Every structure is written in structure tokens, then in C-alpha cells.
Chain A
Amino acid sequence: MAKITASVYTSHVPAIGAALDLGKTHEPYWQPVFEGYEFGKKWMKDNKPDVIFLVYNDHATAFSLDMIPTFAIGTAAQYQPADEGWGPRPVPVVKGHPELASHIAQSVIQQDFDLTIINKMDVDHGLTVPLSLMCGEQDPVKGAWPCPVIPFAVNVVQYPVPSGQRCFNLGQAIRKAVESYDEDLNVHIWGTGGMSHQLQGARAGLINREWDNQWLDMMINDPVACAQVPHIDYVREAGSEGIELVMWLIARGAMSDVNGGKVTGKAPKLAKRFYHVPASNTAVGHAILECQ
């Protein structure tokens, strides 16, 4: 049977991708950011998954205002890195896992979550920057990501985004779906985006270090309480784009200590926690949890 064994959390700032692609990782500004992921890169090699279920948001790339799915699962065989206006990132094509993705789609919809099924889309920095951070730089042609990836896009562009509670519940449904897949697969689930940042208006550049760290404590140690944080707290305390953090709760809800909306099992092991300000406009947060 397939199993979710770990969750990875990380911000997905586009400037991090640009710093990687332009060879700026050793500059004093960027060096502390990338140092925070050195452990993660090694951890990925030592704990190589068979599939990554990658929760992220599309930044008006694959989805314009023509269609705005709240939850969209990628069931395609592969996904091209998107041209977001700067030209596509020079990273390898992302291979999918159509069989597992289709299985999860069917199971999760039967658990009352109305997913949109996507068979063709390009993936933007929201998906490729976390891969670069955790897997290191890859040659766009000769290189490859270490395993297939199932993209799972969440609408956080047009308000209202799904609530933290909805995301947390969805994570539990995803774990059930994975565990009902017959093939023995080691699956990691990633939650990306955040942490505090605001990209617009006179309040642009907002960072709330104290709130971010309290939220991280709660996400790790008391996810049931964390799921109850209302939208307005994210907007007010972590900035209009800080609301991306609800996506981390999908990954957290998929950990094995959570059952029936409560924490009943053994707490996951915190393998890594990292926080740094700034990367461009954003506070960078990162954590790795291993199911016990």
C-alpha cells in the first residue's frame, strides 16, 4: 500500500528561483536563505520519495480569470515550466504520476471534496521553486527531478480562499486516498507558500516575525487549533499574500497523527525548522515533519 511518510513546508518566492537561475546563491543577501535548505537537500537524498504530492498555488499562470478552481489536481503525465513573463525557468520538465493522481482524485471526490481535474497545464514558480530548493539545481535538459510530482493547485488569488479548516480536512482525505492505493509507494506531501508577506499597496513589505513563528509552533504542535485561525487573521497579521499559509495545513492534515479531525496518534518528528527574513518581499519559512 502507498503511504505518506513525511511532509515538507516551504515558501516559494519567485526571486529565490531567479537567484538560483542567475547563479546568485553565494551572494551575502541570498547565502543565508540557501544555507537554510542545505539540510533539506541532504534529507531528500537520504529519504528519497517515490512520489511528491505538491500543494501550491498558481499565480495567474495556468489559471486566468476565465477559470478559478478552488482545488485542482494534476493528473497529466508531465508539466512544462511556465513562462510567467520573464521567460520559463530553466528547470527540467515535471513528470507527473497519472495513475496515483487519478486514484487520489476519485477517492477525495468521493470523500466530498469537489476537486477540479487537470490534464494539461504549465506549472509556475509556486511549484518549481520548492523543487529547486529541496532537490538542488538541475540542468533543464540533462537533469531531472528525483521522482514524479502530483501538482495540487489551491486558489489563493481570488478571495475567499479555502479556510484553514477546509484545508486541514482535505489533508486527511488525501492521506486516506493514498493509503487505499495498492502499490507500495513512499509519498511525501509538501505545503508551500507564505510566510508573512504583502505585495501590494501602501502596506507592501509587511513582515510579522512574531506571528509567523507562533503560527509555525501551532502548525507543528497543535494543528487542530491552527486550522481554526480565520482568514482575517492571516490578512491582518501576515499580509494579504500571507494567506497562502492555509496550504501548509493540507500537508499537516495528511500526517499520521491526525485522525477524524483530532490529534490521536504519535506526533511527527520535526526534522528541520528554518525561518529567515527577507527573500525579496517575503519571510521564508521551512519545516520537515516525519510521520512516526
Chain B
Amino acid sequence: MALEKPYLDVPGTIIFDAEQSRKGYWINQFCMSLMKAENREKFKANERVYLDSWPMTEEQKQAVLARDLNWCMRTGGNIYFLAKIGATDGKSFQQMAGSMTGMTEEEYRNMMVNGGRSIEGNRFIGEDGTAQAQHQPQGSAGKTAAQKA
């Protein structure tokens, strides 16, 4: 019998459950290794070589190299682990969270200063809030990236 997962209909959200954790074991353990200064140095010196020393999938490595945190999460990454990559890059939690929305740092910061993202329309998939699939990417950073691609 399948487990009950009542959280699958929350828009723009991946819940790090047992299934995601199993998928993401090595990408998250790689992230843990960045808590040691010497490993941060090794990673920065040659990211690809350092990543190849971990039994991660090629997709997980590509997601890390691209610093695409949404992609990392789809492959089983968890934000508290992925935050170690951001820390290695000198990024704050706000910069990391903002990067997942398609907003520029300034756009995201302004949203937070103005009270944060509204819950209205963002409770269930299929509503019309800012986090819904039909409104992605949300900001000018994401739109510029989409045009380039």
C-alpha cells in the first residue's frame, strides 16, 4: 500500500521525504563534506574533479555545476544540505532561496521587506498565486536566462 503524501499538491514545493532522501543520499553527503575548509578548497580548485570523487549521478553533478538549486532538489537534494554549496560560494540563505524563484537578488529582497510572498493562491496547485507553474519564472533574472536559452 502506498504511503499517504498529502503534501504533493502544494505548489512550488518539494517535501524532503524518505523517497527524496534515498534518491539524494550522495548529493547531500557531498554537500556535507563542504563543512570542512580543506574540502571547500578542493572543490573550488576543480569542481568537476571533486564531484567525480563522489558516487553521485551525472545529473546531480550537472545540477551542482549549474548551481541550479531547483534542479538539485529534484534529484534529491535538500536545502539545508545544499546551503553548504552556497556557503562555499559566499552566498547567504536569502540569495540561495531567491535564486530558486527566478527573481534577482534585489527583487527577492524587496518582496521580503514588503511582507514576503503572499499565501493567497499559493496553497494548492491549480490556484493562481505567484508560486504556480504558469507564473514561472517570476522575476527578471529568470526571464533573462530564458531568453538566452
Contact = CB atoms under 8 A, between A and B. Distances in A.
B122 A204 contact: no
Given A14-B93, A202-B131, A203-B10, A157 B115 contact: no
A281 B16 contact: no
B75 interface: no
A232 B87 contact: no
A219 interface: no
Nearest to B138: A202
Contacts, number: 167
B115 A207 contact: yes
A68 to B, nearest CB: 8
B100 interface: yes
Given A64-B32, A280-B94, A202 B16 contact: no
Interface string B43-84: 000000000000000000000000001100100001111011
Given A83-B35, A203-B117, A278-B113, A236 B10 contact: yes
Contacts of B104: none
Contact of A59 (B17, B80, B94, B111): B80
A11 interface: no
Contacts of B92: 15, 18, 280
Contacts of B122: 203, 206
Contact of B93 (A199, A231, A283): A199
Contact of B98 (A158, A204, A237, A283): A204
A106 interface: no
A98 interface: no
Contact of B123 (A60, A158, A237): A237
Q: Is the interface of A mostly helix, strand, loop or mixed?
A: loop
Given A65-B29, A158-B16, A84 B116 contact: no
Contacts of A280: 92-94, 112
A200 B14 CA distance: 8
B73 A85 contact: no
Interface in A189-234: 196, 198-209, 211, 231-232
B145 interface: no
B100 A201 contact: yes
A240 interface: yes
B11 A203 contact: yes
A40 B134 CA distance: 45
B1 to A, nearest CB: 17
B12 to A, nearest CB: 3
Interface string B33-44: 011110010000
Contacts of A84: 35, 83-84, 87
Nearest to B40: A85
B21 to A, nearest CB: 5
Given A83-B35, A84-B84, A65 B13 contact: no
B31 A60 contact: yes
B24 to A, nearest CB: 8
B12 A277 contact: no
A237 B131 contact: no
Given A202-B11, A205-B112, A280-B112, A236 B136 contact: no
B105 to A, nearest CB: 12
Nearest to A211: B119
Given A84-B87, A206-B117, A237-B119, A232 B98 contact: no
B81 to A, nearest CB: 5
Nearest to B115: A277
B73 to A, nearest CB: 6
Interface of A: 14-15, 18, 29, 59-61, 64-66, 82-87, 157-160, 196, 198-209, 211, 231-232, 235-237, 240-241, 277-278, 280-281, 283
8 contacts: A65-B24, A65-B29, A83-B36, A198-B97, A205-B111, A205-B116, A278-B115, A281-B94
